[in-house]
Amino acid sequence: MQVPAPFDYARAESVEDALALLHTHGPESRVIAGGHSLLPMMKLRLARPEWLIDINDLFELDYIVEDAGVIRVGALTRHATLLNSATIAQRFPIVVDAEKVIADPVVRNRGTIGGSLCQADPAEDLSTVCEVLRAEVVIRGLDGERVVSMAELHRGPYETAVAQDELLTEVRFALTPRTGSAYEKVERRVGDWAVAAAGASVTLDETGAIADVAIGLTSVGLDGRTATRAEDVLRGERPSEEAFAAAAALAAEDCDPVADQRGPIDYKRHLAAELTKRVLRRAVERVR
Ligand SMILES: Cc1cc2nc3c(=O)[nH]c(=O)nc-3n(C[C@H](O)[C@H](O)[C@H](O)COP(=O)(O)OP(=O)(O)OC[C@H]3O[C@@H](n4cnc5c(N)ncnc54)[C@H](O)[C@@H]3O)c2cc1C
């Protein structure tokens, strides 16, 4: 049986209280939200926090609201809430596509969007989704808050711009007219992490041509970035199978998968191309 090293525990009563507790208990204190990434790491002794600051009572961080052209999602919003939100399904179907294939109901009932983004695991599906939607996140500390892009948030695998004594409090998605989005993942079995996955968001202009596009890939070494060459060849083009194939080939060329128990490099590159084509096709269908 795997058990974590001993730790102390405090249950925060408000965001200010959580920030004060992190400050008081210092560098060896760590926030716990759903615990579905942190607890496995503690059991494997990959993380050994001396204090866990539990934020599960902070209902003020659990919300989805539409506000002046922006959907604001609280950091403590669970996967299951995102999956079942009518607002999210209508505005950003890519989130629902991804949530359907994240783990299983037990994990989705506890895991949070804030925990997913702060874990910064290269296989995390919501990270790709947030990159594709060009989300911004709000980071709060005792001295105030700042808003950063996904590119600024993710500094590398398991590393973010959120300091030890700060909290990620909100994720913001801007609404853009005539935009569709989609996500598709290949997994070895239901509930598993991705062998590879792709996400796309496409905005069409009044004539039906592609005004803007973002393409992201999961688990194939494109972490923290979108497939910029693939995006560039699509901008200004009319959506077509030929255009999608050209973009997909570039996305597959620009990713950098590694061979592991989930598959060899050429298989993962093949998936990157095929999934890119599929999500572009579906994103455009959804605009129409
Ligand atoms: C069996 C299993 C299968 C899974 N499969 C998938 C999958 O297919 N796809 C996928 O994307 N994910 C998967 N996950 C991960 C799951 O989505 C987790 O819920 C998620 O990674 C972390 O969210 P959490 O709320 O549990 O975070 P926690 O485990 O509580 O925290 C993770 C990290 O984020 C920090 N943190 C949490 N919240 C905040 C905050 N608000 N501010 C600052 N720091 C914070 C913590 O200190 C910790 O370092 C799986 C997990 C399990 C156990």
Q: Tens of pLDDT along 44-70? A: 999 999 999 999 999 999 999 999 999
Residue type at position 74:
G
The pLDDT score that the predictor gives to residue 288 is 82
The pLDDT score that the predictor gives to residue 144 is 97
Q: Tens of pLDDT along 182-198? A: 999 999 999 899 999 99
Ligand 1 site-directed mutation target among 7, 25, 37, 129, most atoms within 8 Å of CB:
37
Are the CB atoms for 122 and 223 separated by under 8 Å?
Answer: yes
φ and ψ of 195, to 5 deg: -70, -45
The pLDDT score that the predictor gives to residue 226 is 86
The pLDDT score that the predictor gives to residue 243 is 98
Q: Tens of pLDDT along 206-217? A: 999 999 999 999
The pLDDT score that the predictor gives to residue 1 is 66
Are the CB atoms for 276 and 230 separated by under 8 Å?
Answer: yes
The dihedral through the CA atoms of 172, 96, 194, 119 has a sign that is positive
Indicate whether residue 42 lines ligand 1 (CB < 6 A).
no
Q: Which atom of ligand 1 is nearest to the CA of 192?
A: 8
Structure tokens at 230: 């693939």
Strands (E), 93-193: 136-141, 144-149, 154-156, 159-160, 167-174, 179-187
The pLDDT score that the predictor gives to residue 2 is 86
How much distance in Å is there from the Cα of 38 to the middle of ligand 1?
Answer: 7
Burial label for 3, CB within 10 Å (0-12, 13-18, 19+), is exposed
Domains, the chain, with CATH or none: 8-54 (3.30.43.10), 59-174 (3.30.465.10), 179-287 (3.30.390.50)
How much distance in Å is there from the Cα of 284 to the middle of ligand 1?
Answer: 31
List the 179-187 sheet strands across, edge first: 179-187, 194-204, 210-218
Coil, strand or helix at 271: helix
Q: Which atom of ligand 1 is nearest to the CA of 166?
A: 43
Indicate whether residue 115 lines ligand 1 (CB < 6 A).
yes
Q: Tens of pLDDT along 72-120? A: 999 999 999 999 999 999 999 999 999 999 999 999 999 999 999 999 9
Q: Which atom of ligand 1 is nearest to the CA of 47?
A: 49
On the CB side of 233, CA atoms within 13 Å amount to: 16
CA gyration radius for the chain?
A: 19
Share of the chain above pLDDT 90, in %: 95
Q: Tens of pLDDT along 1-37? A: 689 999 999 999 999 999 999 999 999 999 999 999 9
Structure tokens at 276: 């890119």
Cα→Cα distances 288→99, 174, 207, 281, Å: 23, 19, 12, 11
SS3 content of the chain, % helix, strand, coil (to 5): 40, 25, 35
Share of the chain above pLDDT 70, in %: 100
Are the CB atoms for 53 and 12 separated by under 8 Å?
Answer: yes
